[in-house]
Amino acid sequence: MTSQTVSIEERIAELKKERNAIILAHNYQESEIQEVADFLGDSLELARKSAEIDCDTIVFCGVHFMAETAKLLNPNKTVLLPDLDAGCSLAEGCTAEMLKAYQDHLRAKLNQEIYTIAYVNCSAGVKALTDVCCTSGNAVKVVEQAPKDKHILFVPDFHLGSWLKKQTGREMTLWNGSCSVHESISRRDLMFLKQEHPDAITIAHPECVDGILDLADEVLSTAGMVAIAKKHSNQKFIVGTEANMIHRLRREGPTNIYLPAPGIPAPGEASCASCVHCPHMGLNTMDKLEACLRDGSPEVVVDPAIVPAARRAIENMLAIGR
């Protein structure tokens, strides 16, 4: 008698029970991981959920800074990341050492205190040097509540910061960092796609460059994209963010049509019909998810010396809300 084949989804479910684990997955994870996750969300939703979870182990299917945030909020729990190399161009472009040096320079230049707001896409070391974190979902509210008597330094996303200046009217110094994924959306091909589908609503993430945001009907975090998809039926959307977001949108608004915003074509190519993918998010796979649950590694750790300050910046963000 042959033994019944056990699927990888079943093995993951069994390993979760053995470790009393819960799987959190970002909206940019591949569809198979989204389907086995216990909770899907954007950075703010996942931060909130990680602080509420009653379990021994958190498996964070996202990128390193997200798993670090979960560890900061859950110091006594084991936090696993299927691939420790799942990084972020924004986090890599603004280290704690770089930020500390620039803060000192800016204080001396302005001869006044500064108020540092860090987009959550940064390392725990950078968070420890900031007054408050934000996500794309609550960034406007965070900036609006910043002290009026202090100059704002916004790190590390220049494009999000530029959009926030327009939304809030607050003067800010912006760090010159960017998301390589959102910068890869082609403005030219997006214009062509909008012409082909004049009935479509174009939604774009605020990490996109100004030229893309100018073409968008709505500038939204991924949570905002989920909300607008739920509100509509039989509507066509052009989606200006990481490609795997479309799987989440189809789950929440199944009667709608979702068209991926085109990427900038490679040299020699006329166009790039395939949409934009994050290579860091793509490092997490079902095989690696199963392996990290089985082996209890790789585990995310944070230097205890920076935990109090980094956690305070996140808690200040959570207190402000969406």
Q: In this predicted structure, what is the pLDDT of residue 272?
A: 62
Q: Do domains 8-87+283-295 and 182-277 have the same CATH topology?
A: yes
248-252 LR contacts (CB < 8 Å, sep 24+): 248/27, 248/34, 248/40, 248/222, 249/225, 251/34, 252/226
CA 203 to chain centre: 16
pLDDT digit string (tens) for 94-105? 999 999 999 999
Which pTM was predicted? 0.92
Q: pLDDT grade, residue 2 (50/70/90)?
A: very low
For residue 274, the model assigns a pLDDT of: 56
Mean pLDDT of 102-111: 97
54's tokens: 């009653």
pLDDT for 43 equals 81
Looking at the DSSP bridge assignments, the partners of residue 260 are: 239
Separation CA 244–CA 222 (nearest Å): 11
CATH classification number, 91-179+306-320, choose in 3.90.1150.10, 3.40.50.10800, 3.90.1640.10, 3.30.1540.10: 3.40.50.10800
Confidence class of residue 132 from pLDDT cuts 50, 70 and 90?
A: very high
pLDDT for 61: 97
Which residue is associated with the tokens 């073409």? Answer: 215
Reply yes or no on whether the pLDDT at 298 is more than 70.
yes
Cβ atoms of 160 and 206 within 8 Å: the answer is: yes
Fold of the domain built from segment(s) 8-87+283-295:
Rossmann fold (3.40.50)
pLDDT reported for residue 279: 92
What pLDDT, on a 0 to 100 scale, did the predictor assign at position 24?
Answer: 97
Q: Maximum distance among all alpha carbons in the chain?
A: 80
CA distance 151 to 204: 28
What is the mean pLDDT of the segment spanning 72-97? 96
pLDDT in tens, 244-282: 999 999 999 999 999 999 988 767 666 565 558 999 999
Summarize pLDDT for 46-70 with one digit per residue, the tens: 888 888 888 999 999 999 999 999 9
- Give me the CATH code for the 182-277 domain, please: 3.40.50.10800
Backbone angles phi, psi at 155, to 5 degrees: -130, 160
Where do the structural domains in the chain lie, given as residue ranges?
8-87+283-295, 91-179+306-320, 182-277
Answer for the pair 62, 27: CB distance below 8 angstroms, yes or no. no
- pLDDT above 70 covers a percentage of the chain that reads 95
Of the pLDDT bands very low, low, confident and very high (cuts 50, 70, 90), residue 1 is very low
Instruction: Give the pLDDT confidence score for residue 264 in this predicted structure.
Output: 81
Backbone angles phi, psi at 128, to 5 degrees: -65, -20
The 3-state DSSP class for residue 74 equals coil
Give percent of the chain above pLDDT 90: 88
Over residues 186-194, the mean pLDDT reads 95
Residues 6+ apart with CB under 8 A from 86: 62, 63, 64, 280, 281, 283, 284
Residue 151 has φ and ψ, to the nearest 5°, of -80, 135
Q: Rounded to whole angstroms, how far apart are CA atoms 251 and 253?
A: 6
pLDDT value for 271 = 59
